[in-house]
């Protein structure tokens, strides 16, 4: 277990004064947690008692068959209180949690347990914290807490856009509950529901229609121009790839006016839930932006799956499908 990362999470996420207990120190059940790691390091800190954490973990669904089976095994072990038998799982205890409120995350009169997902290492690494009420065992909100220097800007940008969406597109996205601009912490409402599958449905098309920005327009040319700048100023693209990208941009450069939309930016099955019969809700809006191209999220939906799941998907087939679902 990465001790320094655990200490950082305790400092950033838990109530002030919380500390990691040393081996041999006595700890109440409410102070006990499981630290779950992977080949990428520490990934979860969850309450020892599954009645607090199981409902949150059930919302997490890896789409790789092997990863999915491993995750189901972990859920069974958690429910049966056998997590200690799995590799990569460590028991930890954190003092100063029991009977403390969570006003540092905007919950002034709430005794709670956190279920913490730790993002992958990098400049925008963050902790995503599901806040579970001790009394009702219900999910009260989702807090995002920066763990790396670049995460603060991303979290606050999402909070800003969610605030705008609450006015312009009520009900489309989670609502903000609390923002601490100095610390870079933001808390939003939790959207519940069953995760969707990997197929595109009419409900996805209905969701795209909601993102339209009335009286706003854009064009491929505007976005191509911005991408040219990114490509030319990037130091991470080799000459061959740079040439191919520029040729692709030249092929789609078009000044024709198009309707502008809110782009989610990470429109994928693991960020989509069924909020009702044939109705979708989207979570994780950190990559969102206004004045985007229509159906951009459609292409992302198809090609991020193709990339991660190593599927063969033809971009021109998707392009031909686009007019049918617009």
Q: Tell me whether residue 242 is in a domain.
A: no
Q: Tell me whether residue 174 is in a domain.
A: yes
Decide which of 321 and 267 is more confident: 267
Q: Are 21 and 104 contained in the same domain?
A: yes
Q: Tell me whether residue 232 is in a domain.
A: no
| Residue 31, pLDDT score | 87
Q: Are 154 and 99 contained in the same domain?
A: yes
| Residue 100, pLDDT score | 80
Q: Which of 188, 208, 237 is the last residue of a domain?
A: 188
Q: Which of 167, 188, 209 is the last residue of a domain?
A: 188
| Residue 313, pLDDT score | 62
Q: Are 112 and 204 contained in the same domain?
A: no
| Residue 5, pLDDT score | 93
Query: What mean pLDDT comes out for the span 73-84?
Result: 96
The whole domain housing 147 covers 3-188
In contact, 140 and 64? CB cutoff 8 Å? no
Query: What mean pLDDT comes out for the span 256-269?
Result: 96
Q: Are 175 and 303 contained in the same domain?
A: no
Query: What mean pLDDT comes out for the span 236-262?
Result: 92
Q: Are 297 and 313 contained in the same domain?
A: yes
| Residue 75, pLDDT score | 97
| Residue 318, pLDDT score | 54
How far, CA to CA in Å, does 267 sit from each of 145, 163, 166, 207? 22, 19, 19, 11
Percentage of the chain lying above the pLDDT 70 cut: 93
Q: Tell me whether residue 141 is in a domain.
A: yes
| Residue 217, pLDDT score | 96
Q: Tell me whether residue 243 is in a domain.
A: no
Q: Are 57 and 158 contained in the same domain?
A: yes
Q: Are 100 and 164 contained in the same domain?
A: yes
Q: Are 124 and 265 contained in the same domain?
A: no
Q: Are 310 and 178 contained in the same domain?
A: no
Dig out the tokens for 188 from the structure.
């939003």
d(CA 132, CA 141) in angstroms, rounded, equals: 8
Q: Is the pLDDT of residue 110 over 70?
A: yes
Could you give the number of structural domains in the chain?
Answer: 2
Which one, of 159, 188, 191, 168, lies nearest residue 280 by Cα?
A: 191
pLDDT tens digits, 45-72: 999 999 999 999 998 888 778 888 999 9
pLDDT tens digits, 176-233: 999 999 999 999 999 988 888 888 899 998 999 999 999 999 999 999 999 999 998 8
Q: Tell me whether residue 312 is in a domain.
A: yes
Q: Is the pLDDT of residue 111 over 80?
A: yes
Q: Tell me whether residue 226 is in a domain.
A: no
Q: Is the pLDDT of residue 262 over 90?
A: yes
Residue 295: band (very low, low, confident or very high) from pLDDT cuts 50, 70, 90: confident
Q: Are 34 and 152 contained in the same domain?
A: yes
**Residue pointed to by tokens 């655990």:** 6
Q: Is the pLDDT of residue 243 over 80?
A: yes
| Highest averaged pLDDT of the listed ranges 1-15, 87-101, 181-195, 311-325 | 181-195
Q: Are 56 and 28 contained in the same domain?
A: yes
Q: What mean pLDDT value characterizes the chain?
A: 89
Q: What is the pTM of this model?
A: 0.89
Q: Tell me whether residue 234 is in a domain.
A: no
Going 90 to 91 to 94 to 100, the CA torsion angle's sign is positive
Q: Are 157 and 208 contained in the same domain?
A: no
**Residue pointed to by tokens 């603060």:** 152
């Amino acid at each position: 277990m990465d001790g320094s990362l655990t200490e950082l999470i305790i400092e950033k996420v838990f109530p002030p004064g919380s500390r990691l207990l040393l081996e041999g120190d006595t700890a109440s059940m409410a102070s006990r947690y499981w630290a779950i790691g992977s080949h990428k390091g520490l990934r979860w800190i969850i309450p020892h008692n599954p009645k607090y954490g199981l409902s949150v973990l059930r919302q997490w669904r890896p789409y790789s068959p092997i990863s999915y089976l491993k995750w189901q095994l972990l859920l069974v072990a958690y429910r049966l209180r056998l997590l200690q038998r799995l590799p990569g799982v460590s028991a930890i205890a954190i003092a100063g949690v029991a009977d403390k409120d969570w006003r540092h995350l905007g919950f002034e009169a709430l005794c709670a347990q956190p279920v913490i997902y730790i993002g992958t290492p990098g400049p925008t690494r963050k902790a995503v914290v599901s806040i579970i009420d001790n009394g009702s065992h219900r999910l009260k909100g989702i807090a995002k807490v920066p763990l790396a220097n670049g995460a603060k800007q991303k979290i606050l940008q999402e909070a800003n856009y969610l605030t705008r969406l609450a006015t312009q597109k009520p009900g489309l996205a989670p609502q903000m509950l609390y923002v601490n601009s100095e610390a870079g912490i933001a808390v939003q409402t939790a959207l519940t529901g069953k995760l969707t599958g990997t197929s595109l449905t009419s409900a996805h098309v209905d969701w795209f229609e909601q993102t339209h920005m009335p009286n706003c327009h854009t064009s491929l040319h505007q976005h191509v121009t911005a991408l040219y700048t990114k490509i030319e100023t990037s130091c991470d693209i080799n000459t061959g790839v740079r040439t191919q990208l520029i040729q692709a941009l030249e092929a789609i450069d078009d000044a024709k006016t198009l309707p502008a939309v809110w782009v989610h930016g990470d429109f994928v099955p693991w960020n989509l839930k069924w909020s009702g019969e044939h109705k979708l809700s989207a979570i994780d809006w950190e990559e969102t932006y206004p004045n985007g191209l229509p159906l951009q999220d459609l292409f992302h939906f198809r090609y991020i799956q193709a990339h991660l799941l190593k599927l063969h998907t033809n971009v021109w087939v998707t392009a031909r499908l686009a007019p049918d679902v617009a």
